[in-house]
Structure 1
């Protein structure tokens, strides 16, 4: 009886033994297992010494932990995780002073300390730019708090009710970068005007504040209940702030869904390009 020689099955040997895996997990280094095989291959290819290989894998772990830490701190700071510098669309049809923007991303204004006003019409990306500065600051281990203006003032009003206003104002006064989004989108009553004044006074020349608004600072005065407090606060804020004007088309309008080949209520598709009707 003839016998056929079957080719031996190739087996892939796991370069990481079970004992090493267990040790790494006990030391809370289990995430190293995701990249360790390729690092072992790289070390073999480049003939890395023991010390160089150890530096390589520990650098990977350090990067992973820094990224996770930054993610957690960004969430605590109230930053949108999707509004970072690397997600900003440089091809967007908006115009602003690129030289000033590059200066702001260096965060040197935090050391002044100075601030920044990001001004422009609806939808041009003011919130994204301000949030991107917050993410950069987080990665550089600076303290950040970001909030929409109406939510910030609502929280301060609530703090009055449970007698935590002083603690809340102290926390906001000492954060290194405070981002107030959509300021003066709606009018400020007497309590909100007072809180804004107190916050600006406490942070003046002590910490950096970034404000986004659809209105010019001169228009803010009419939006606040007390003209004297408003003028005093706005004068302090603008006297130490860079002003970045963003102009152009609304990116929200550019993200509208296409009407091409949309179904009608009658079950007929209308080709928006040429107006032809097609049965569903």
Structure 2
């Protein structure tokens, strides 16, 4: 028996190893045929790999909140359309490279919703990155200074879903405009982007600043986007 357990370990079949030990300890292996036992072990290994991948993806994403779709408040007065969220939860927008634009006042749950959609994407095997917009643009600036910008921009482009939170808290300077344009251009029609902002989309032109660049960025984001406008008073106040 130890030989089998050692082989599971050597082959890094963690799910099989744990389930095999459980079957041995409970002596349930006597009740299973060879085919049934093999199926149990294979299912356990598949589930273990899925769980470990999900853990890696969520750790890499660095979400602001550990949120799930099931935890969302679907009160219609908040502006959340249950059908729309259900559709987004299927991940269809990810396959099409579509954007999700979430707007609403401070504390109304934009970041929580963005995090929940991100977690759902991770559970479906998608690579997700979550950033505060200003911190992201600060990182792009630093990456240009230390020469790592190509690698950093490639990392952003490879993410199946990029979440930009707190967009529009300050106006963008020329380099930030160009960096944001490059990020959005790399993702256009290929990968999805979620943007959460206190400001309505119509105000984003002013925040971006340069009309030509603003037109180019918003043209790539808005036309195929899913729009969610959250309403109601701050959830933080209620808490």
- 2:187 is aligned with 1:238: no
Q: Output one character per residue of 1:47-86: Cα deviation in whole Å (capped at 9) or x when no partner.
A: 4323212322332233123212211122112334712334
Q: Output one character per residue of 1:141-198: Cα deviation in whole Å (capped at 9) or x when no partner.
A: 2232221101110000001101222332233234221111111122222221221122
Does the 8 Å contact 2:104/2:198 carry over to 1?
A: yes
Please give the secondary structure, in 1, of the residue aligned with 2:138.
helix
Return the offset for 1:30: 6.1
TM value normalised by structure 1: 0.73
Match of 2:123 among 139, 152, 159: 139
Does the 8 Å contact 2:162/2:193 carry over to 1?
A: yes
- 2:164 is aligned with 1:171: no
Return the offset for 1:218: 0.9
Return the offset for 1:18: 6.6
Structure 2 residues without counterparts, runs of 5 or longer = none
| Rounded Cα–Cα distance in structure 1 between residues aligned with 2:222 and 2:135 | 22
Please give the secondary structure, in 2, of the residue aligned with 1:188.
coil
Please list, as runs of the form range in 1=range in 2, the aligned pairs for 1:183-202 lying within 5 A after superposition. Answer: 183-202=167-186
| Rounded Cα–Cα distance in structure 2 between residues aligned with 1:53 and 1:92 | 48
Please tell me whether Structure 1 or Structure 2 has the larger radius of gyration of its CA atoms.
1
Structure 1 residues without counterparts, runs of 5 or longer = 1-16, 256-280
Q: Which structure shows the higher helix fraction?
A: 2
Please give the secondary structure, in 2, of the residue aligned with 1:122.
coil
| Rounded Cα–Cα distance in structure 1 between residues aligned with 2:38 and 2:65 | 32
Please give the secondary structure, in 2, of the residue aligned with 1:187.
coil
Aligned to 2:91: 107
| Rounded Cα–Cα distance in structure 2 between residues aligned with 1:22 and 1:170 | 40
Does the 8 Å contact 1:114/1:242 carry over to 2?
A: yes
TM value normalised by structure 2: 0.84
Does the 8 Å contact 1:43/1:53 carry over to 2?
A: no
RMSD of aligned C-alpha atoms?
Answer: 2.9
The 1:21–1:206 alpha-carbon spacing in structure 2 relative to 1, beyond 3 Å, is closer
Looking at both structures, which has the greater relative contact order when contacts are Cα pairs under 8 Å and sequence separation is at least 6? 2
Does the 8 Å contact 1:123/1:251 carry over to 2?
A: yes
Return the offset for 1:112: 2.1
| Rounded Cα–Cα distance in structure 1 between residues aligned with 2:186 and 2:224 | 14
Does the 8 Å contact 2:101/2:227 carry over to 1?
A: yes
| Rounded Cα–Cα distance in structure 2 between residues aligned with 1:42 and 1:194 | 64
Count of residue pairs brought into register by the alignment: 238
Does the 8 Å contact 1:93/1:249 carry over to 2?
A: no
